[in-house]
Structure 1
């Protein structure tokens, strides 16, 4: 059984819905060999990352940067995971009120330092709330979990 870890900051009702959509996609009935769990960034430990086979990161755009909670996650988990989790398949989604560029750049820079492998470009949900964000998140969760399930990642 492979483990997919979702480390996502969800401070609002809409961002909570986005996490639930990621989980819904990752737990699709056709995906049989992947166990998915969501742990908020402030609660995620290095041991959680060390035990996973892939990771989806989620954050809000805060002043053109990632959330403080996700930054705290990286501050605590970077060095314990640096040498052990090279090549970890990863993905990112951002709930951006503006354009999300600075947020993506910051997270991508840290993940590049960790030598994690992006499975796709970041999903950036820009502007006012749209219900299509949930479909995009569900697809992201399903893509990552299905790839793990069949051994692509």
Structure 2
């Protein structure tokens, strides 16, 4: 029986594309079996996508000290439908910005906690151009979430 990992992201820059690809590569590593990875842009992800997943990775840029409007739209769309149905859903977060990501991380974690989701990996925050260690941390985030939900 395959489990589904959903990556909801707002990928607006080359730096975010690098982080997203590293997360996806970690989540789809051959070392972890039985996990199907689905990706959705934040503006197109729905409550049905969340209902059908066993784990969730969120990716966002920092916009004026906050998460992207697209990710906020995702939360606005899924919050009430998912409030009872997705308690304890494992999730993780990666964030990129050119300045302090603290507000974006705090906002996402506050909403996720309000829905009842459980963080299974420390947020990966990257400021400026992603370095090799940043990409490795994103790979690890993806692999950790996939391993967490793997039926094997």
Q: Distance in 2 between matches of 1:17 and 1:74?
A: 24
- Post-superposition Cα deviations, 1:105-145, rounded to whole Å, max 9, x if no partner, equal 10011011101001022111123442332111111101110
User: Aligned runs of 1:38-117 on 2, under 5 Å?
Assistant: 38-117=39-118
RMSD over aligned CA atoms reads 1.2
The answer on whether the counterparts of 2:15 and 2:129 sit within 8 Å (CA) in structure 1 is: no
- Normalising by structure 1, report the TM-score: 0.94
| 1:150 CA displacement | 5.0
Q: Distance in 1 between matches of 2:9 and 2:32?
A: 21
The corresponding residue for 1:140 is 141
Q: Distance in 2 between matches of 1:22 and 1:14?
A: 13
- Post-superposition Cα deviations, 1:17-66, rounded to whole Å, max 9, x if no partner, equal 21111110011111111001111100101100010000000100000000
How many residues align? The count is 151
Q: Distance in 2 between matches of 1:2 and 1:129?
A: 30
Query: Within the alignment, does 1:29 sit opposite 2:30 as a pair?
Result: yes
Q: Distance in 1 between matches of 2:94 and 2:38?
A: 16
User: What secondary structure, in the 3-state scheme, does the structure 2 residue paired with 1:61 have?
Assistant: strand
The answer on whether the counterparts of 1:99 and 1:127 sit within 8 Å (CA) in structure 2 is: no
The structure richer in strand per residue is 2
Where has structure 1 moved over 4 Å in runs of 4 or more?
Answer: none
The answer on whether the counterparts of 2:4 and 2:54 sit within 8 Å (CA) in structure 1 is: yes
- Normalising by structure 2, report the TM-score: 0.94
